[in-house]
Amino acid sequence: MRHRFHILIIPFLPKIQTMTTPSERARSLVWAGAFLVELNKDQSLPLGIRRTAAVIARHFPTTLDIKRMASAPFPDVEMGSSAELADWLKEYPEGPLLDSTRLRFPEEQPLPKSKRKREY
User: Who wins on pLDDT, 3 or 79?
Assistant: 79
The pTM for the full model equals 0.62
Distance of alpha carbon 73 from alpha carbon 81, whole angstroms: 19
pLDDT at 17: 58
Please check whether residue 101 is in contact with residue 62, taking contact to mean a CB–CB distance below 8 angstroms.
yes
Give residue-wise pLDDT tens across range 10-48. Answer: 455 455 555 568 888 889 999 999 999 999 999 999 999
Q: Which CA distances in Å does 7 have to 4, 10, 46, 51, 52?
A: 10, 10, 50, 48, 44
